C-alpha cells in the first residue's frame, strides 16, 4: 500500500486572529505550529505533504515553511480558489470568505490519489495522533458496501481557550467506537463548570459536558471521498449558499455526518494520548509557546526541527 499523504488546510483567512497565523513563529527558532505537525507526520511514516492555500499566499508559504520542509519530504501546493465551483454556480456579489473545509479538500482531487490525512495548519495534534492515523491508513479497512474513514477525537476540555469562543464538531459513538453523529456547534466557551455553547450569538448559553468528544478536523480518508464531496458542493450551491450568500460554508464534519446517516460510510474514532492546542486568538500565543517549549524540554522535539 502507498504511503499516506498529509493534507494541510491553510487557506483560512484568520479573521479572529488578525493575520496569517499559519506562518507566525511560536518558538525562538522561528518554527510555526505547522512545522511540528509535519515533523510528527514524517516520523510516523507519511510520504507527502499537500498544502491547501490561497494562491496569493504561495510565496510566503514557500519561503516560511515549504522550502525547509521539502528537504525532508515531497511537498505540493493546491489552491482553494473562489472560481473552483460547479459550472451552474455563481459567486455571490461581495463574497470574500472561502467556501469551507469540504470545498478545500475537494480542491485536492487531482493531486491526491492515495489514502490521506487532513489537519488544520494552525493546530497542534500531538505525536500519537499521527502514529494512530498512519496505522489506520496503511491497513486494509475496505468494506464491500461502505467507505471506510477515520477521525481523531479529543475531549472538549482539552481544546478550549481562555480568550474567546470556538467552534467544535461534537461527536457521538456507537459501542464499537464508530462515529454515529457529529453536531457542529459554534460559540463554545470555557466556564467554571466546564463549557457552554450559544445558538443566539451569546445572548444565552447552554451547558455542555467538558468531557464531550469533539472533532478537531483531523481526519483519515481514501480518495473515494472526492466523489462524495463533489455532490456536497453541488448541493451547497443549490441550497445552502442561497440562505446566507456571504458567510455560509460547507464543513467537512457535517458532510461526513451526512455520509454516516445515509449509510455510505463508517468513521472509526481514534484516540490520541496528547493534548490538542492551537492559536485561535493572538492571546493564545503565549500559552502555545510555553507548551511547545515544555515538549522540547521533555525531549519530544529537538530545538531545530529541520537541521
Residue 198 pLDDT level (bands cut at 50, 70, 90): very high
Specify if 266 maps to a domain: yes
Q: 82 in a domain, yes or no?
A: yes
Give the separation between CA 159 and CA 139, rounded to whole angstroms: 29
Does a structural domain hold residue 143?
yes
CATH number assigned to the domain comprising residue 36? 3.90.550.10
State how many domains the chain has.
1
Residue 131: per-residue pLDDT: 95
| For residue 271, pLDDT beyond 50 | yes
Lowest mean pLDDT among 9-13, 32-36, 225-229: 9-13
Does residue 201 belong to any structural domain of this protein?
no
Residue 42, pLDDT above cutoff 50: yes
Report pLDDT for 20: 56
Those residues whose C-beta lies under 8 Å from the C-beta of residue 82, and which sit 6 or more positions away, are 91, 95, 98, 99
259 in any annotated domain: yes
At 242-269, the pLDDT tens digits run 999 999 999 898 899 899 999 999 999 9
Buried b (16+ CB within 10 A) or exposed e, 89-119: eeebeeeeebbbbbbbbbbbeeebeebbbbb
**Interval 13-25 mean pLDDT:** 56
Provide the residue range defining the domain that includes 56: 5-153+213-297
Residue 162 lies in a domain: no
The vertex-3 CA angle with 29 and 182, nearest 5°, equals: 80
For 179-193, what is the HEC assignment?
EEEEEEEEEEEEECC
Assess if residue 187 is contained within a domain.
no
Q: Is residue 23's pLDDT more than 80?
A: no
Q: Is residue 43 part of a domain?
A: yes
Residue 28 has pLDDT above 60, yes or no: yes
Span 100-158, pLDDT tens digits = 999 999 999 999 999 999 999 989 999 999 999 999 999 988 887 899 999 999 989 88
Phi, psi angles (nearest 5°) of residue 128? -65, -30
Side-chain-side CA neighbours of 155 within 13 Å: the count stands at: 9
Amino acid at each position: 500500500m502507498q504511503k499516506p499523504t498529509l493534507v494541510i488546510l491553510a487557506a483560512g483567512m484568520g479573521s479572529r486572529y488578525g493575520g496569517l497565523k499559519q506562518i507566525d513563529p511560536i518558538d525562538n527558532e522561528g518554527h510555526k505550529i505547522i512545522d511540528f505537525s509535519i515533523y510528527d507526520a514524517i516520523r510516523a511514516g507519511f510520504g507527502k505533504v499537500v498544502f491547501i492555500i490561497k494562491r496569493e499566499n504561495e510565496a510566503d508559504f514557500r519561503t516560511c515553511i515549504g522550502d525547509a520542509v521539502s528537504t525532508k519530504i515531497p511537498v505540493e501546493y493546491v489552491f482553494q480558489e473562489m472560481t473552483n465551483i460547479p459550472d451552474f454556480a455563481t459567486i455571490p456579489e461581495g463574497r470574500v470568505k472561502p467556501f469551507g473545509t469540504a470545498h478545500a479538500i475537494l480542491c485536492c482531487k487531482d493531486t491526491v490519489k492515495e489514502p490521506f490525512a487532513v489537519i488544520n495548519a494552525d493546530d497542534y495534534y500531538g505525536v500519537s495522533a499521527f502514529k494512530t492515523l498512519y496505522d489506520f491508513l496503511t491497513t486494509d479497512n475496505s468494506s464491500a458496501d461502505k467507505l471506510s474513514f477515520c477521525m481523531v477525537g479529543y475531549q472538549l476540555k482539552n481544546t478550549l481557550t481562555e480568550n474567546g469562543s470556538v467552534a467544535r464538531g461534537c461527536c457521538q459513538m456507537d459501542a464499537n467506537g464508530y462515529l454515529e453523529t457529529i453536531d457542529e456547534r459554534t460559540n463554545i466557551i470555557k466556564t467554571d463548570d466546564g463549557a457552554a455553547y450559544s445558538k443566539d450569538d451569546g445572548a444565552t448559553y447552554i451547558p455542555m459536558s467538558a468531557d464531550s468528544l469533539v472533532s478537531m478536523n483531523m481526519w483519515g480518508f481514501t480518495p473515494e471521498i472526492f466523489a462524495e464531496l463533489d455532490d456536497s458542493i453541488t448541493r451547497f450551491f443549490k441550497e445552502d449558499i442561497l440562505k446566507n450568500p456571504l458567510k455560509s460554508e460547507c464543513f467537512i464534519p457535517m458532510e461526513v455526518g451526512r455520509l454516516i446517516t445515509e449509510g455510505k460510510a463508517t468513521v472509526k474514532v481514534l484516540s490520541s494520548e496528547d493534548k490538542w492546542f492551537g492559536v485561535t486568538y493572538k492571546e493564545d500565543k503565549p500559552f502555545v509557546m510555553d507548551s511547545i517549549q515544555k515538549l522540547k524540554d521533555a525531549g519530544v522535539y529537538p530545538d531545530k526541527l529541520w537541521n
